[in-house]
Amino acid sequence: MTTLGQLYGFASSAAQFAVEHIDKLKSADNLLANKCGLLLEQAVAGWGMGSETALLVIGIGQHLLGNPLTAGVVMTPGVNAVVVTCAALGAIHYGWKAMSDEDREMLVTAVGSAFAVGAELIRSIASFAYDKLKALMSAENMAELRKLVADVAGAFGTRLSEITRKLSDRIVERSSYAIATAGGAASAAWARVPALRRKDGS
């Protein structure tokens, strides 16, 4: 939980941040963000554990993006936290079922350690987020989400193909770009994380 606090910049009340963050997603001038906010709201309602359930969902996605959930991971100032959350949820959609059993268990262990929760809860919430996101999103939403996943993962030094496990993504990456993970390059990658499109298309 502390690691998400460092990433998103909340110092004390994780529960209060989660409530405000969900509201920000739901009120954003972007349908993708609205649907991500709805997903987090439904996760909170479905488990009865309070608003911090939303942070657990985000944490699962963050780890898939390449965030080790350890101290010291921060966003470059000016990066929209709503974009980063949408990408985290997208990473669950593209990565959770694509993972090998071994990699999935490593993720469960890392998230469980960071949030002090059990493995079955993590698996259940990840499966819920995967299924719900698939039901909520249109094809246009998914195309936008896939781009966000690639851009935000790149800021963590992760390639999209490492999340999707798809050969087609690996081929595209080899032919078009390489992601550097050195500190300066990581800062530049954060600078490339896009803003969300407005509902009017701008």
Residue 94 has pLDDT above 50, yes or no: yes
Residue 181 has pLDDT above 50, yes or no: no
Domain contains 184: yes
Domain contains 201: no
Domain contains 183: yes
Task: State the pLDDT confidence band at 91, using cuts at 50, 70 and 90.
Answer: very high
Structure tokens at 168: 């087609």
* pLDDT (average), residues 34-45: 95
Work out the angle at residue 140's Cα, subtended by the Cα atoms of residues 81 and 66, and round it to the nearest 5 degrees.
40
Domain contains 202: no
CA-wise closest residue to 72 among 200, 153, 186:
186
Task: State the pLDDT confidence band at 184, using cuts at 50, 70 and 90.
Answer: very low
Do residues 62 and 4 make contact, with C-beta atoms less than 8 angstroms apart? yes
- Residue-range definition of the domain harbouring residue 113: 2-191
Domain contains 199: no
Residue 186 has pLDDT above 80, yes or no: no
Domain contains 200: no
Report DSSP state, residue 60: H
Do residues 136 and 39 make contact, with C-beta atoms less than 8 angstroms apart? yes
pLDDT of residue 7: 77
pLDDT of residue 113: 93
Residue 182 has pLDDT above 70, yes or no: no
Give the CB-side neighbour count of residue 60, counting CA atoms within 13 A. Answer: 31
Domain contains 139: yes
**141-167: pLDDT as tens digits:** 999 899 899 989 988 889 999 999 988
Domains in the chain, number: 1
Domain contains 66: yes
Look up the pTM and report it: 0.85
